[in-house]
Structure 1
Amino acid sequence: MQRRERTHHLIELGGLVQKAGLVELTGDDRAVLFGAFLSLATMLQAGDRSDTLTLWRRAGKRVFESERAKS
């Protein structure tokens, strides 16, 4: 991945963190956010990854579609 693409990708990911309300809910505490991300990674490594990803994907798509319909 080239530098410009990587930067764009990281900005998009940061936007998703903001959009999910995690910045406000954690008081913008980066250690808390990082710990939460580590917990998510552990969940994906330990459990039924496919089912978890499907559940999260559906939830995310629902919100994206809802926002698109409001536009």
Structure 2
Amino acid sequence: MRSWQVERRKRTRHLIELGGLVIKAGVVDLTGDDRVIILGALIWMAEKLKGDQGEQAQALWTAKGKNAFEDGEATDACFKPAQKLASSARLTRRR
């Protein structure tokens, strides 16, 4: 396999893993897969990291991410409020 193919596969795998994190965090479902919102949130996050409270944000987000990976279920913390809301909305519609 040529070196450019190897590099392309590495990049593709990296991008897939990053997309998986967005899904695992529940961002896709919570935004209705609205890519404008997702991009806006990522830009906001980057600006926060560049700002004077960037180190605090990084420490907080690192701890949350570590906990999510250790629990093995990052989506639980993100989806529970949305699931409850969706469940109650379904119950309301059925009545």
Residue 24 of structure 1: aligned partner: 29
Q: Measure, in 1, the Cα distance between the counterparts of 2:11 and 2:69.
A: 23
Amino acid at match of 2:14: H
Counterpart mapping for 1:1-71 below 5 A: 2-67=7-72
- Where 1:53 maps in the other structure, the secondary structure is helix
**Cα shift at 1:49:** 2.0
Amino acid at match of 1:34: L
What are the Cα deviations for residues 35-71 of structure 1, in whole angstroms up to 9, with x where unaligned?
A: 1111111111113322211111111111111128xxx
* Residue identity (%): 49
Of structures 1 and 2, the one with the larger relative CO (CA 8 A, separation 6+) is: 2
Unaligned runs of 5+ in 2: 1-6, 74-95
Where do 4+ consecutive residues of structure 1 move more than 3 Å? none
Q: Measure, in 2, the Cα distance between the counterparts of 1:55 and 1:35.
A: 20
Unaligned runs of 5+ in 1: none
Q: Measure, in 1, the Cα distance between the counterparts of 2:32 and 2:42.
A: 16
